[in-house]
Structure 1
């Protein structure tokens, strides 16, 4: 490519004064490549142009963007078919384009991959959603989509035979869905291939589908009903997910995000307002009192019925693994795992049922409060001052849920008396038993009820084991997966996680490719960080803040600090009991990397102060204790 300014006319004294302008500034040592223009490049033109051949010429003129209009051509002449071209501009004649008569070779594209790594994207989104709790700016005003979703739920939800029935939350009234039958059939064939290879998986999958029909969650359509098609008819592909912590249990997910011609069911559904309490807020309350109690609602989404006219959007295909037969058509009669509106609708039903309950009994009033404030989707997580209060309130919570068809079970507690009273015989939430230690999962955190402490069990299921063992260094993608897999909503190990986040920041600075090995300097830092994993696994944090009893005087202390690479804030309780004994308890911490664009340390200190102020306000608002 050649671009050569032959004569600068902007300051030519022969031009009228009103057309002269100063647009040139001498800059030494531009270190730009040399350019050449030969006689052969100019011989084909039929025009006599004031252009001279050049050899090894170095550009001496820089034109700023404010004067880009000087490069606009008034006349353009092609010297050959494929260039170069001569153009007359305010600065004189310029030549640009290829000087070789041979046309450039056509580009060949062998492969185009438009698939996105949704799993990793969702991990990152969830990680930073939790990270930003309590330290983000003001809450935005409710959007019109949430207003519409709320209006639909309020106008269409009603009780039917001891359960609640509602409709799908459509984004708009007029909906025209594509024909998704063939897409659902191909996805069924994919599931059937795995069924044919794995006998245990096949048995679990078939049992799950048959149980859906037996429980009334799904129904098989007659050929006549299946032939009836409406603009809202949609066939949902389905697949099984296996929790790495519960390998013997599968859950069937209906993929409402699957697309046909760029359209999916979820694109026509609203998420609705996310009105459940934040996860850290519930964990704050869980640590306030002496007796902790947890439970969960079994198959919560499936207890909410869908109005009959909307069930055609929840059809699916099944033939019990017999791939030689034509598939039968089923439809889900209840909310499904995978539909965008299911969490919002289930939360609305749970709240509405609780608010309709008679709260004359003091334990009933406390139970309603527990349902409104101390549930995270289907998980009940609460704490009480005494065992008797815990038993009475948890029992009442279970009774209220039964009025809507919700079954609260799998109770766990730091008190053996509470567990016995609530008849907790189903231990499906057990994570594992190591040397006689029973670990429970509470909102994603590992809880050891026997000593009433939180533990950290870091298992990176989505990352190759050789990376975690140190047999080979991670790629940028694997490093991101490791960092995003650490679940620490209260910041117990933020002093450890910040090191991983700084590693990620360095990979962004180096602009490393996603699947290439990391630079040596970053690998050294990774190895230092990886070797700290055993220490983090041995980390224990008491669940209860006030281990010396109910505080008579309580102070909240927040510390902030910053460096050139990161800034952070941490909050502690300082409690004094009736006997003037003092205890200090960690509450929460937040840490953030400094921006890639360098900032002064004083400015980062101010950022830390903002972070600490927001953390203080959140801790004060999300706890029920009296702060002196």
Structure 2
């Protein structure tokens, strides 16, 4: 699918994520279902004889309506084989991925005793990430496939609460450390075992060649594509921190507050502290792609476990971005990597323009003056009417005035590639830290920015922009200020 093509579902998800960056989720407020999910985790989760965590799928009352979907899954498997046959390179990558799955014991053939028993089958398909430094092809399992009753596995699962902090808070906190430490958990979901009594709900069809008979397998771990997987994985990480806090106090704190899904963004005040943190972190889930602004911190880390990129992407889950935030370990600077799709030969529609806007990824708001232009552009985009007085159609070319306005903005975005922002906002021997908040508004928009003022032992001072906000209410600004003061020790925690 071309970069300039987008479905309504993709557009909805992208726009939802675009606005979620600005939300403040500092106060957990669990719904009844989220509370039930947490209670289920505490009741059924345990560590097996190998010290790996075993979890069960939290189900809803609609679980009894889940019926057979074997024919649908088998039909989609045949379609998958036809697709792989047309692309030998993808076919090889896909088979290597599944071979590893079997080799690691993450999926096993169902036994003779299980044949003929009911279960739920997950159709699967590839997602290709050519920019990834490790896995180029990921197999995605579709737990939203409807069964004969019209109910899918995901319809019967409790999603669970979000228990990790938002990305902006994590990155902001990492900017306060003179030494930064970054890594990610290797195949995070598959580090968590699924109880054998639930594995019949994670069956798949597979064979390595059309010449072989089709086999049924069961997935033995938490699986990407199931609605409850993010909660089970992140909650297990937090449980590991709770269980190992006495042995690994530094790692336990970081595991609770400095992970965004499987990505670690943390730091320390000294090289020795960073080395000890890395050592303790290696006592839990296996981590890889280690990176730091100080090479000494990575002493003893094998080359294959180090980040190979010259920059670290803070938004690794996005395969297509217009604007992405990166960190350069060598210069210890933040930068923006701009890859704008060409609009030559494209019909600029409302659908396409909103898709491009939703790809602007700026969690720290450092490009607020740039991003706010796109946000303000959305106002006339929604208000324009066609000749009959109806809302402008999604796939009709925009009026010349709006089209020219967007093209001028779109063409200037790559100039941001030259921008470099120092990651560390303080002084190495700082004795005093103060936060300075500024707010202002115009007829078109309003926003705020936060500066850090640091003073060291020699009374030298430094000012640095920490992050910016746009379209925030005063109430949310006060909440964020309070949280920052807590993070940086300017006021005692509650």
TM-score (norm 2): 0.89
Of the candidates 12, 17, 22, which is equivalent to residue 126 of structure 1? 17
- How many Å separate the matches in 2 of 1:419 and 1:442? 20
- How many Å separate the matches in 1 of 2:169 and 2:476? 17
Q: Does 1:523 align with 2:403?
A: yes
Q: How many residues are aligned here? A: 470
3-state DSSP class of the match of 2:61?
coil
- 2:144 is matched with 257
Q: Does 1:549 align with 2:425?
A: no
- How many Å separate the matches in 2 of 1:520 and 1:624? 53
- 2:478 is matched with 613
- 1:580 is matched with 459
- How many Å separate the matches in 1 of 2:308 and 2:15? 27
Q: Does 1:535 align with 2:421?
A: no
Contact 1:455–1:539, Cα closer than 8 Å, also in 2: yes
Cα distance, 1:251 vs structure 2: 0.8
Q: Deviations over 1:543-601 (max 9, x none)?
A: 1011x433333221211122222111111112222223222111111113xxxxxxxxx
Structure 2 segments unaligned to the other structure (5+ residues): 1-5, 317-324, 385-390
3-state DSSP class of the match of 2:392?
coil
- 1:21 is matched with none
Q: Deviations over 1:478-525 (max 9, x none)?
A: 111111111111111121111111112211011322112111111222
- How many Å separate the matches in 2 of 1:353 and 1:325? 42
Q: Deviations over 1:356-394 (max 9, x none)?
A: 22626xxx3122111111112212221111111101111
**5 Å matches for 1:188-267?**
188-229=77-118, 233-246=119-132, 249-260=136-147, 262-267=150-155
3-state DSSP class of the match of 1:219?
strand
Aligned-residue RMSD, C-alpha: 2.3
3-state DSSP class of the match of 1:241?
strand
Q: Does 1:397 align with 2:281?
A: yes
Structure with more relative contact order (C-alpha pairs < 8 Å, separation 6 or more): 2
Consecutive aligned runs of 4 or more in structure 1 exceeding 6 Å deviation: none
- 1:480 is matched with 354
Contact 2:46–2:54, Cα closer than 8 Å, also in 1: yes
- How many Å separate the matches in 2 of 1:424 and 1:133? 38
Contact 1:379–1:443, Cα closer than 8 Å, also in 2: no
- How many Å separate the matches in 2 of 1:286 and 1:421? 23
- How many Å separate the matches in 1 of 2:179 and 2:253? 17
Q: Does 1:315 align with 2:203?
A: yes
**5 Å matches for 1:97-496?**
117-133=8-24, 139=27, 141-160=29-48, 161-172=50-61, 175-229=64-118, 233-246=119-132, 249-260=136-147, 262-322=150-210, 326-357=213-244, 359=246, 364-399=248-283, 401=284, 406-427=285-306, 429-431=307-309, 438-444=310-316, 445-460=325-340, 465-467=341-343, 472=346, 474-496=348-370
Cα distance, 1:531 vs structure 2: 2.7
Contact 1:430–1:440, Cα closer than 8 Å, also in 2: no
3-state DSSP class of the match of 2:342?
helix
TM-score (norm 1): 0.71
Distance 1:533 1:368, change over 3 A: same
- How many Å separate the matches in 1 of 2:130 and 2:357? 18
- How many Å separate the matches in 2 of 1:308 and 1:227? 17
Contact 2:289–2:308, Cα closer than 8 Å, also in 1: no
Contact 1:146–1:272, Cα closer than 8 Å, also in 2: yes
3-state DSSP class of the match of 1:554?
strand
- How many Å separate the matches in 1 of 2:113 and 2:298? 51
Contact 1:269–1:340, Cα closer than 8 Å, also in 2: yes
Distance 1:622 1:482, change over 3 A: farther
3-state DSSP class of the match of 1:491?
coil
Cα distance, 1:158 vs structure 2: 1.2
Greater C-alpha Rg: 1
- How many Å separate the matches in 2 of 1:164 and 1:527? 52
3-state DSSP class of the match of 1:146?
helix
Contact 1:256–1:339, Cα closer than 8 Å, also in 2: yes
**5 Å matches for 1:492-507?**
492-507=366-381
Cα distance, 1:140 vs structure 2: 6.5
- How many Å separate the matches in 1 of 2:53 and 2:358? 37
Q: Deviations over 1:291-328 (max 9, x none)?
A: 10111111111111111111111001112241x65521
Of the candidates 351, 372, 383, which is equivalent to residue 509 of structure 1? 383
Distance 1:487 1:244, change over 3 A: farther
Q: Deviations over 1:146-187 (max 9, x none)?
A: 111111111111111221111111113852312211211122
- 2:319 is matched with none
3-state DSSP class of the match of 2:83?
helix
- How many Å separate the matches in 2 of 1:534 and 1:411? 29
Cα distance, 1:244 vs structure 2: 4.5
3-state DSSP class of the match of 2:267?
strand
3-state DSSP class of the match of 1:246?
coil
3-state DSSP class of the match of 1:456?
strand
- How many Å separate the matches in 1 of 2:477 and 2:54? 45
Distance 1:306 1:608, change over 3 A: closer
- How many Å separate the matches in 2 of 1:552 and 1:481? 46
- How many Å separate the matches in 2 of 1:443 and 1:198? 28
